[in-house]
Structure 1
Amino acid sequence: MAEHMTFLPRDRLLTLEEIAAIAERFIERGVRKIRLTGGEPLVRRDVVELCRWLGSHLGNGLDELTMTTNANRLADHAHSLFDAGMRRINVSLDTLNPERFRFITRHGDINRVMSGIFAARDAGLAVKINMVALKGLNADDIAPMLRWCADNGFDLTLIETMPLGAIDEDRVDRFLPLTQVLDGLQSQFTLTRADHRTGGPARYWKLADSDTRLGLISPLTANFCDGCNRVRLTTEGKLFMCLGHEDQVDLKAAYRAGGEALDDAIDMAMLRKPARHDFRIERDAAPAVSRHMSVTGG
């Protein structure tokens, strides 16, 4: 059974009460970690209330509550998230270069992101930076990002681009194998393999003379499915058992049907979790799934 569940608070298609009820069923089945992601979770008006409710289960079935955010609104919420029981947070940040950041995000202001990151650190939240490695775009930013994380006490996780949604020529050309990235980093840094695990697919290295860990998520060069224990619930109430498959179970409909329908639907979903994804990134390959990452989260 999956032990890690990702919720996607983006709009009100699932009510707070429905998310709470579904989460409670998963906690009863052994889920120990819940991560809020998106899209962007902090745009949801009742996200702090949701965090407080989920946080009330910490120490009573739930071991950890985390969030992945773009940090644009993090400065406003960091202390509330800590008060709700959150102790670490993931921030999506693909470069430290302001102009390149605007290009990648299409509109982003890196100063707002930085304010959010340091507000989170000041509130007591451990910060991990998630960086998608993009060939020809931010490859030369990776080593400076690792140095910056070490200087500020943050962890860094590098992620290979995944073929979700439409794949154009640019997307294929941007694929950067993390095996190649790691070779380059090991020529500049002293990295030793670490046993640290967070319940996710990353494999970790320890950076010498610092507390910083480097994580690698390599869906294509080092398939992570053997250790996957995640399922993902969308704001529409669809439960996806795998990022790389279209198979889903409608938990919102099951909940609203009443009776034992929700429990039956969850049990059925767990039995249908596939053994591995179908990701490939080739010029003639169709995407494994038609939906983009923002639909089901990372």
Structure 2
Amino acid sequence: MLEDKFGRRFHYLRLSITDVCNFRCSYCLPDGYQCDGDRDFLSKAEIRPLVQAFAGLGTSKIRLTGGEPSLRKDLPEIIALCAQTPGVDKVALTTNGFKLPQMIQSWADAGLNALNVSIDSLDPRQFKAITGHNKLDTILKGVDEALALGIKVKINSVLLRPYSESTLSLAMEWLKDKPVSLRLIELMQTGDNQAFFKANHLSGQPIKDSLLRQGWLQVLREKTAGPAQEFAHPDYAGRIGLIMPYSKDFCKSCNRLRVSAKGKLHLCLFADQGLDLRDLLRDGDVKAIQARLVELLGRKEASHWLDKGYTGATSQLAMLGG
């Protein structure tokens, strides 16, 4: 089992397979994707021993992220590779949903059983203003198709000052009969969004207080669950989750590690640097990869220090998949 010096155990790997994204979200890539280097992303031959190494050390959940992972044509094969690895019982994907209607069946057939879709507003005009794309109806159609296939669906929505009040109002109506979990995520400061962060950051605490007053009850987290505090209500088919990275003791429950699309281990989303695994991945020596993972985990710190304005090497969220 991967365990750090603070007693935290890591059941969950977030694996980026590309840093390319085709959206222009205002809080992440407002000017679109800027290619600043080669696109020598991990191959299936490199991903296989990496996933085997993590699974052998107790990791049971793999989330594939980007950038936008659906831009890789071999995504179904990568999903299948993960799903067929002994010890891995959940394969999840985070996507902007751009290709969801035409691709979800192939992903399900490959072994995908959980899906996170980024939808920052249920108002089509606001959605276009945030993302640069008029694709909300297409994405919502894909969500319905995923649900029909029995895939567990979560919706990621970043809290932004101009939009959040209307977003939450529309979402509450939508959740009445839509069995998804809406994850409201506090905007995080990164290396290139400091002015935007100061103008648009909202705390999730007032929303949590309001939910509790309205009879929503907090749900216990599973061992492989992400950092959201999730709430359920008997009158709603859907749930609401809050991800509040600036809240007290947020990092105490950390159970996930990240590997970038170029094979670097990130002990935290906001770590100083990625720690290179690529040489071992190319060799395919699972035992050697495991030994390095155990060694490097000793460097993991107690906190991300976001509350002190520290953003580490994360210039924007697409580089590592959030």
TM-score, normalisation: structure 1: 0.90
SS of the equivalent of 2:240 reads strand
Q: How many residues align?
A: 292
2:264·2:277 contact (CA, 8 Å) conserved in 1? yes
Match of 1:192 among 217, 225, 232: 217
Moved over 4 A (4+): 257-261
1:94 to 1:153, Cα distance in 2 relative to 1, 3 A? same
Q: Which residue of 2 aligns with 1:296?
A: 320
Q: CA deviation at 1:291?
A: 2.4
My pick for the range that moved more, 286-295 or 161-170, is 286-295
1:93·1:129 contact (CA, 8 Å) conserved in 2? yes
Indicate whether 1:38 and 2:62 are aligned: no
Between the aligned residues of both structures, percent identity stands at 30
Indicate whether 1:19 and 2:43 are aligned: no
Match of 2:13 among 5, 10, 20: 5
1:74-153 alignment runs, 5 A limit:
74-153=100-179
1:245·1:278 contact (CA, 8 Å) conserved in 2? no
Separation in structure 2 between the aligned mates of residue 33 and residue 266 of structure 1, nearest angstrom? 17
**Uncovered stretches (5+) of structure 1, i.e. residues with no partner:** none
Match of 1:29 among 42, 54, 57: 57
Separation in structure 2 between the aligned mates of residue 62 and residue 290 of structure 1, nearest angstrom? 28
Separation in structure 1 between the aligned mates of residue 197 and residue 273 of structure 2, nearest angstrom? 24
2:179·2:239 contact (CA, 8 Å) conserved in 1? no
2:175·2:236 contact (CA, 8 Å) conserved in 1? no
Q: What amino acid maps onto 2:12 in structure 1?
A: H
Q: Which residue of 2 aligns with 1:52?
A: 80
Q: Which residue of 1 aligns with 2:27?
A: none
Q: Which residue of 2 aligns with 1:67?
A: 93
Q: CA deviation at 1:82?
A: 1.7
1:109-148 Cα offsets, whole Å, 9 max, x none, are 2122112212212222121111111112333211321321
SS of the equivalent of 2:77 reads helix
Match of 1:183 among 198, 203, 209: 209
Q: CA deviation at 1:154?
A: 1.3
My pick for the range that moved more, 138-147 or 158-167, is 138-147
Q: What amino acid maps onto 2:56 in structure 1?
A: E
1:258 to 1:20, Cα distance in 2 relative to 1, 3 A? closer
Separation in structure 1 between the aligned mates of residue 51 and residue 84 of structure 2, nearest angstrom? 12
Separation in structure 1 between the aligned mates of residue 169 and residue 215 of structure 2, nearest angstrom? 12
Indicate whether 1:161 and 2:161 are aligned: no
Q: CA deviation at 1:261?
A: 4.7
**Uncovered stretches (5+) of structure 2, i.e. residues with no partner:** 3-9, 19-38
1:31-83 Cα offsets, whole Å, 9 max, x none, are 111001111111111000111111112xx311211111111111122112222
TM-score, normalisation: structure 2: 0.84
SS of the equivalent of 2:275 reads strand
Q: CA deviation at 1:174?
A: 0.7
Q: CA RMSD in A?
A: 2.0
Separation in structure 1 between the aligned mates of residue 210 and residue 218 of structure 2, nearest angstrom? 16
1:251-281 Cα offsets, whole Å, 9 max, x none, are 1123336766533322222222221111137
Indicate whether 1:228 and 2:229 are aligned: no
1:165-207 Cα offsets, whole Å, 9 max, x none, are 21332321211100122234455x4311221435211111112
Q: What amino acid maps onto 1:280 in structure 2?
A: D
1:71 to 1:258, Cα distance in 2 relative to 1, 3 A? closer
Q: CA deviation at 1:108?
A: 4.2
1:278·1:288 contact (CA, 8 Å) conserved in 2? no
Q: Which residue of 2 aligns with 1:256?
A: 282
Separation in structure 1 between the aligned mates of residue 254 and residue 310 of structure 2, nearest angstrom? 23
